[in-house]
Amino acid sequence: MITSAQLRAARALIGLDQRQLAERSGLSLPTIQRMEASDDMIRGNVDSLMKLASALDAAGVELINDNVPSTGGGRGVRLKTTK
């Protein structure tokens, strides 16, 4: 799962506005806006969440979930290293 804060942070890392993310993910602008306005965990159908995660991954963002090894612990986002 992804939180609304992670989504906003991910967009900021890669310099995309909501409209650009909507285009890259194949989702509508109102859908992206609703996701970012969520209180905590983003709610949506599995297909929409997968499209969102795939678009962020393709743009070079790694989503970090709870209980996943990272130096700081907790949820977050980071840029993937390029090879």
Please give the backbone phi and psi of residue 53, each rounded to the nearest 5 degrees, phi first.
Answer: -60, -40
What's the pLDDT band for 1 if we cut at 50, 70, 90?
confident
67-81 pLDDT per residue, tens? 666 665 566 777 676
Q: How much is the mean pLDDT over the chain?
A: 87
User: What pLDDT was estimated at residue 7?
Assistant: 95
Domains parsed from the chain with CATH numbers: 4-79 (1.10.260.40)
- Listed in sequence order, the residues at least 6 apart from 53 whose beta carbon sits closer than 8 Å to its beta carbon are 2, 63
For residue 18, what pLDDT band results from cuts at 50, 70 and 90? Answer: very high
With a CB cutoff of 8 Å and minimum separation 6, the contacts of 3 are 38, 40, 41, 42, 75
Selected residue with higher pLDDT from 68 and 38: 38
State the pLDDT at residue 72.
Answer: 59
Q: pLDDT at residue 58 above 80?
A: yes
